[in-house]
Chains A and B, each alone.
Chain A
Amino acid sequence: MATVTFEKAERRYPGAPTAAVRGIDLTIEDGEFMVLVGPSGCGKSTTLRMLAGLEEVTSGRILIGDRDVTNAPPRDRDIAMVFQSYALYPHMSVFENMEYSLKIAKVSKEERERRVKAAAALLGLADYLDRKPKALSGGQRQRVAMGRAIVREPQVFCMDEPLSNLDAKMRVQTRTDIAKLQADLGATTVYVTHDQVEAMTMGDRVAVMNEGELQQVAAPMELYRRPANLFVAGFIGSPQMNLLPATVTGGSVRLGEYALPLTAPALAKLPRDLTVGLRPEAFQVVPDGGLLLDVVVVEHLGSDSYAHGTVTLGDGTAGEGTLGEGTRNLVVRVPSRQEVAKGDRLRVAVDGGDIHLFDTVTGLRLDV
């Protein structure tokens, strides 16, 4: 087992105007489960492939333990990788697939058999060892790919969206299986996904990426509670955090007429262009005051409901899309015992929930 360190690691594809991964600094602890998450095309796979040695590092360094592997070929890095497409050798049986790396490493036949059998038992593959990958279901193939990685007993596991080819139910099941397996093995793991729920549920820490840059690296709850910038605030959490333009007047931060319950001595230091971030659960339905929400859609999830609607802030700014001037989308969580229907008007106010402030220009979090 080992740590993994990216030092200003950069990858520029030949002919591309900008780097796909821009000078990333990241340290992954020994035994840590690190999730790389971000929207499509942000450079997650490229980062992982740089670590695996499948992608050239244009500048900077990558270390596994204290060994500089920047220019080492994949086979000298002592890593294992689970590919999105699983990349099982189609002409080999499950057993041969799992055994292959050990065979190359000239591990004895008995030892190979022992390790493959152990991994197969762990993954519930014992009955399929003689089959070809073609004759397996998607979930089984996924487990073979995991097994192929496990038998190596590598220093680092690399996984690139290993669950994206599974159906929703299998995904949830396998998610916990992988997390448990990783905890049992205690192997340093770098896991790539574009699904923030996966990231939040599996990772010890999560690295959020956008446009080739790291946005924030933190434990899941920390990301949720204290997003470092507007991108992370909008990316983490489902439904999304509401991000609304605010003004600072009369000693308080206001959304239109509504003054947020913020008692901060440093209000004077706030910049003029302010964005307020409020999660749907930060709101309560109140008898008077607050914001007036015109409910457009109600999403019932059982224990809670999410009321999607619009509010008019009258702030003189144009809303997105077809919304009129000063009109914004807002999502609010309401307990399901509270009857809400499409077309209702609700008064909602922030009561005790977290209020996040961001500088609209720089996008950075403001701590008051």
Chain B
Amino acid sequence: MRTSRARTVALAAGAYLVAIVFLLPYVEMVITAGRTKSELLDANYFPKHFTFSNFTSLWSADGLGGNIWVSLRVAGGATLLALLVAIPAGYYTARHRFRGRTAFLLVVLATQMFQPAAMLVGLQREFVNFNLPSATVSLIIVNAGFNLAFAIWILNAFFSSIPVELEEAAQVDGLSRIGALVRITLPLAAPGIVTALIFTFITAWNEFLVALTLSLGSPPGDRPLTVAIDGYVGQYSTDWGHLFAGGLVATVPVIILFALIERRVVTGLTAGAVK
């Protein structure tokens, strides 16, 4: 008993230590975001004056408001598009053994193996040539494409774990095929759908490289948040206060979504209890 107790304490202490190492940059971010300009470079952890001016000025005339809206549209649109494609694809590959099924799934997986950076030039040229209306639309398409593989695979796994008999029982109970899919299978696959949704949203929200490339020609207010925050890093000076405040604002949706994912997935798994 003694030893196991000591073990527990040691483990917990170790875990907290690791957690602190990972949390420190965020703490630093929060603190720096609240520093006044004069105290910015002081070598102390707790500034004497804490200011919210960095946050309030974020929303001023050419502030981050518009960029957040762009990012929301890009991440939301990409998520919607990815799910619209991935749900039918995941469902079909789970339910039907067709010729080339494995090949299809492997090709889907292969798309995940390219470094986005390697495709930058190609993407840029493609979208310029296609003459797409805006960087936002282009980014929605690119981000949806980047995340499709993960979404299809996870949904394939979830649909595979739901017995076909449930759908058949629902059909006997009076639903059409589509009705059975929508009213029985989709709710049971909800944890998978939510996981794919949040994963896609967060990846698209955080995406920087392609966003930077495709929004080069857009006015500053029409660029995604990640690009806008990068703008605080100038060639000669860096606006640390706004950089960190912007970083903090950008983290909030991610944190909220992670809080959601955890709840949804855990309750979903226990309630779903797919046999």
Contact = CB atoms under 8 A, between A and B. Distances in A.
Interface of A: 52-54, 73-75, 79-81, 83, 85, 87-91, 100-101, 104-105, 132-134, 148, 152
A83 B188 contact: no
Given A100-B173, A104-B173, A105-B174, A91 B188 contact: yes
Contacts, number: 68
Interface in B158-177: 163, 165-166, 168-177
Interface string B259-275: 00000000000011111
Given A75-B176, A132-B273, A134-B273, A87 B163 contact: yes
B165 A80 contact: no
B88 interface: no
B163 A85 contact: yes
A83 B273 contact: no
B272 A90 contact: yes
Interface string B74-118: 000000000000000000000000000000000000000000000
Contacts of A100: 170, 173
Nearest to A105: B174
B174 A83 contact: no
Contacts of B177: 73
Contact of B275 (A75, A80, A81, A85): A85
A142 to B, nearest CB: 14
Interface residues of B, number: 21
A134 B269 CA distance: 12
Given A83-B165, A85-B163, A91 B187 contact: yes
B176 to A, nearest CB: 7
A83 B163 CA distance: 11
B172 A91 contact: no
A75 B171 contact: yes
A48 to B, nearest CB: 11
A54 B187 contact: no
Given A85-B275, A87-B168, A91-B188, A101 B173 contact: yes
A276 to B, nearest CB: 45
Which of A74, A79, A101 gathers most chain B CB within 10 Å? Answer: A74
B266 to A, nearest CB: 15
B273 A87 contact: no
Contacts of B171: 53-54, 73-75
Interface string B53-88: 000000000000000000000000000000000000
Contacts of A133: 273
Contacts of A53: 171-172
Q: Nearest 6 CB-CB pairs, A to B? A: A87-B165, A104-B174, A101-B173, A87-B169, A74-B171, A134-B273
A148 B176 CA distance: 18
Contacts of B274: 90
A74 B187 contact: no
Which of B173, B188, B271, B274 gathers most chain A CB within 10 Å? Answer: B173
16 contacts: A54-B172, A73-B171, A75-B173, A75-B176, A83-B168, A83-B169, A85-B163, A87-B163, A87-B169, A88-B169, A89-B169, A90-B275, A100-B173, A104-B174, A104-B175, A134-B273
